[in-house]
Structure 1
Amino acid sequence: MDKKLSSSEIGNLWMTYQQKTMLARILEHFLETQMQEQLKEPIQSYYDEELKFINEIKSIFEKENIAIPMGYVSNDVISGTPRLYDEYFDLLFLRIMMKVTIGLNALHLTMTYREDITDLFMRMSNLSHHTYNSTTQFLLKEGILARPPMIPMPEKAEFVKGEGYMAGFNILSEKRPLNVIELSLIYQGIETNILGFQLLKGFEQVTEDKDVKKYFKEGKELAKKIIDTFSEILLKSDIQPPAVAWGNPTLSTKAPFSDKLMMYLTSLLSSFGLTSNALGTSFSLRSDLPTTMTMIAKDIFDYAKDGGKLMIKHGWMEEPPHTKL
């Protein structure tokens, strides 16, 4: 017989419940406003499975006599509002959110000990991987998603010669060429921030709260700054940055989501951005790159901190379970 939930398992389930109820509300807006059946079907499929997981987590809390979190409820999505983004944004957004959930599920799995909870996170992880792959392949087929840059195929294995490699220099040029690891991390940073820019542009457009509008505008400008910084690094290496023609906000000024939900999503994506920059700092060997990514990480951290203060000010930040004094 399984033992009681540990603190880490309660925390993992609590965080997952927040994230999944938020995503379910967003998908409800997409499903209500999406007119293309081929775009609606994968969203509906994921949404149906997401509701099952939400109910399963709720059932676990009930069995363990743990207070069920508020999370995000029907009042956090406003039915009858026009589409806030163009039609392909739905799948572009779902794909990025699968990147986030894949990372979160992997982290939660390493912090879980009870067999039934481990099984739950493994099933959620399988769904996230499947959805990420299916949305990626569909968007590529439709010509909506750009693939990362191609490079000449390596003809032989090579080893680093000299400490100049880590300093970012070689004998023939001012800066050595980007290696494929650095290139992939920079490309992913541009791709995710393009969607972040579009997302916050839409949020800024519909919120009526002045402080929240200002916050979304600052986030939009930060995403733009990151895109420009990473794009400049690629261009200096004669590599064309990715360009996305889809995913833009419509002209709607009616909010489909509560400010509370939009602020939480922004906070979640800021945390994801911090994690991505940490990876970039760890795996980039050209010295200018970790320095750049560290500066970006500081900007994201400061932005996320300001968002937390704003959520607390408005009473939107739900408190996780905690120990007793």
Structure 2
Amino acid sequence: MPEKAPLTSSELGSLWLTYQEKTMLLRMLEYFIEKADDDQAKQILSSLHSELEVFVSKIISIYEQEGAVTPTGYTSQDVFKDAPKLYDNGFDIMFVRLLNEISMGLHALNLTMTFREDINILLTDLTALTQKYYRICSQYLLDKGLLVRAPFVSMPKSVEFVKEKDYLSASSLNPFTQKRTFNTVEVAHIHKGIESNLTGMQMILGFAQCAKDNEVKKFFFEGAELAKGIVKELSELMIQDDLPVPQTAGGNATKSTEAPFSDKLMMYCTSLFCSFSLGSTSLGTAFSLRNDLPAKMGIFTKDVFEYAHKGAKIMIKNGWMEEPPQMITRK
């Protein structure tokens, strides 16, 4: 028996996805490090960059050992470190925190599809690294007053069971239906949806004002409006239940119109955020027992999917969408 089994299709696909995301993040970190005006933030970003480089090198080594071509991913040609500062007031750490959140989900999913021990160890170690920096970024933002906690709640004093089917009802089509208040699980997903879309909106507004291609620029502005609409709808749900709406005091785009990243990289980053939005929205819908929330989330899912599809067409048109390894055509 060979010392190592050949890579399966799912393992090769997981490595490919990981390489794309990590090389993109490395390029963005290089710019954020260059422009960081807070020593603590710069240290966090620099440390993450150094540790991530080790994992990218490991992935390249696996490709070489298997006799497979290394993906292109994102290179020094996709970042322009001399460009003026595009974001201020903590956005760099906000962005890294959200991307670590996306990474945790990707690594967990990829782990369920791998079999070879070295790939499992790689993804397990990457998961630990991602969790470590998610905690570090969260604490930094909390200390700086740039991260709003979810609403607090009175602690339950007894266990309750649902007694009436009205617990599930909250039809927005019937104005006379009494809506129950959201439970803590539902509030958690609504709060996270607002928080993520606020960061995504600021990110894509910055992309919009510096994109070189007019079609790409228009696409980004459309995405900012989409994120704004989602934030508005979810915020109204919180207000209806007399809950505080999460807002951020920082992370705004500056007035710069000079791009720090290639249009190709910014389009991929936006695509990655769309995929995360689709996944988290579906998860929030699955755990909601009030039927008006899944209906609203379903509309969000449709809008984000159509937006992501439009972005994919733009990437293909410009030759920016790298193709994952393909299975052999048997016909």
Give how far 1:173 is off: 7.7
| Aligned residue number for residue 216 of structure 2 | 212
Structure 1 stretches of 5 or more lacking a match?
none
Give how far 1:129 is off: 0.4
| Aligned residue number for residue 322 of structure 1 | 326
| Aligned residue number for residue 288 of structure 1 | 292
- Counterpart CA distance in 1 for 2:66 and 2:213 is 39
Q: Residue 239 of structure 1: which of 214, 234, 243 is its match? A: 243
Cα deviations across residues 49-68 of structure 1 (Å, max 9, x unaligned)?
11111111001000000110
Q: How many residues align?
A: 323
1:270–1:300: 8 Å Cα contact kept in structure 2?
Answer: yes
| Aligned residue number for residue 123 of structure 1 | 125
Give how far 1:218 is off: 0.6
Give how far 1:2 is off: 1.5
| Aligned residue number for residue 268 of structure 1 | 272
| Aligned residue number for residue 190 of structure 1 | 194
Identity score, percent:
47
RMSD value, Cα: 1.1
Cα deviations across residues 68-125 of structure 1 (Å, max 9, x unaligned)?
0000000000121111100410111110011000000000100010001000000000
| Aligned residue number for residue 165 of structure 2 | 163
TM-score normalized with structure 2 length:
0.96
Give how far 1:283 is off: 0.5
Q: How does 1:32-181 map to 2 (within 5 A)?
A: 32-168=34-170, 174-181=178-185
1:34–1:87: 8 Å Cα contact kept in structure 2?
Answer: no
- Counterpart CA distance in 1 for 2:95 and 2:108 is 20
2:97–2:134: 8 Å Cα contact kept in structure 1?
Answer: yes
| Aligned residue number for residue 29 of structure 2 | 27
Cα deviations across residues 8-56 of structure 1 (Å, max 9, x unaligned)?
0000000000000000000000011112211100111111011111111
Letter of the aligned partner of 2:63 in structure 1? F
- Counterpart CA distance in 2 for 1:176 and 1:2 is 56
- The list of structure 1 runs, each at least 4 consecutive aligned residues, that deviate by more than 6 angstroms after superposition, is none
- Counterpart CA distance in 2 for 1:137 and 1:77 is 28
TM-score normalized with structure 1 length:
0.98
2:301 corresponds to 1:297 = yes
